[in-house]
């Protein structure tokens, strides 16, 4: 059963951050609204490589691929501050990263969260008017509930926006109907699978895989008791059936939180995956 997820390992995270090698400081533009006249949670922070400037200052600079970063928290809590490390890593690797918040359940039920991710994807063209971002080279990156939204947005692509070229998804719940008693999922959907069977199927990314699904890197802790590894294994099997390029990395002995915190190997593989497909 998915339980309430809190990223309580802040002291551990700070310890590892202090031991990490120093990276060039990214250019960060904060609190960009990706929905016109939207809510406070429909905003994000844009991370650019250290030498980036606006198009006004240098219209000829190289455009960077854009990775939209999506936080976890069981669709009901947390925010983009959990994903700062990915913004910093991606910008240091030469990418632009748009680290977003989105509307939360239970006030906003599915598909509100999917709609927000789609809006962020569409907003890439607006970002490109001011910043050196390539709106035609987009990837999605998320963990936990954020990975669920990344896969759902990739599988259910909006035909009116630029196609997503790659997905990085860690600890993703992909089959929501197998958790009939989850308080988090009932808040997301509005009730149980018996009450809303179609909504549970609709919100499960594995049901929407098709031949147009982008290449996908999945990673999961083998000891994850919050989101069982079968979710990523089942998703990888479905991608295989559709001949979609993918890779599944399973971390021995790690649960849900430690797979997020101790992610050096999966980050290196994620970066190589992005380099290959963006």
Lowest-confidence region among 52-56, 140-144, 182-186: 52-56
Token look-up 């980036």 returns 52
pLDDT of residue 22: 66
- Pairing type for strands 133-143 and 96-100 reads unpaired
- Pairing type for strands 133-143 and 164-170 reads parallel
Q: Is the pLDDT of residue 182 over 80?
A: yes
Q: Is the pTM of this model over 0.75?
A: yes
pLDDT of residue 209: 98
Q: Is the pLDDT of residue 7 over 80?
A: no
Complete domains list, the chain, with CATH:
10-277 (3.40.50.1820)
> Would you say 138 and 65 are in contact if contact means Cβ atoms under 8 Å apart?
yes
How confident is the model over 220-227, as a mean pLDDT? 98
CA-wise closest residue to 217 among 162, 169, 266, 262: 169
Strand order in the sheet with 246-251: 27-33, 43-48, 96-100, 64-70, 133-143, 164-170, 216-221, 246-251
């Amino acid at each position: 059963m998915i339980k309430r997820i809190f990223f309580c390992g802040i002291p551990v995270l700070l310890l590892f951050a202090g031991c990490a090698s120093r990276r060039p400081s990214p250019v960060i533009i904060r609190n960009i609204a990706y929905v016109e006249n939207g809510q406070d949670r429909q905003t994000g922070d844009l991370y650019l490589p250290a030498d980036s400037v606006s198009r006004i200052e240098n219209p000829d600079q190289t455009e960077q691929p854009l990775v939209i970063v999506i936080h976890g928290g069981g669709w009901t809590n947390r925010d983009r501050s959990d994903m700062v490390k990915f913004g910093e890593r991606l910008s240091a690797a030469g990418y632009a990263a748009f680290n977003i918040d989105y509307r939360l359940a239970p006030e906003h039920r599915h598909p509100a969260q999917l709609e927000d991710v789609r809006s962020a994807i569409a907003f890439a063209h607006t970002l490109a008017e001011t910043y050196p971002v390539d709106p035609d080279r987009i990837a999605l990156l998320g963990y936990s509930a954020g990975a669920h939204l990344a896969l759902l947005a990739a599988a259910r692509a909006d035909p009116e926006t630029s196609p997503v070229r790659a997905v990085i998804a860690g600890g993703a719940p992909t089959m929501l109907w197998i958790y009939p008693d989850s308080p988090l999922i009932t808040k997301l959907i509005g009730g149980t699978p018996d009450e809303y069977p179609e909504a549970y199927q609709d919100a499960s990314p594995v049901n929407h895989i098709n031949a147009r699904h982008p290449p996908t890197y999945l990673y999961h802790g083998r000891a994850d008791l919050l989101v069982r590894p079968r979710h990523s294994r089942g998703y990888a099997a479905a991608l295989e059936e559709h001949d979609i390029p993918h890779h599944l990395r399973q971390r021995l002995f790690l649960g849900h939180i430690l797979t997020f915190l101790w992610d050096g190997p999966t980050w290196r593989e994620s970066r190589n995956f992005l380099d290959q497909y963006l």
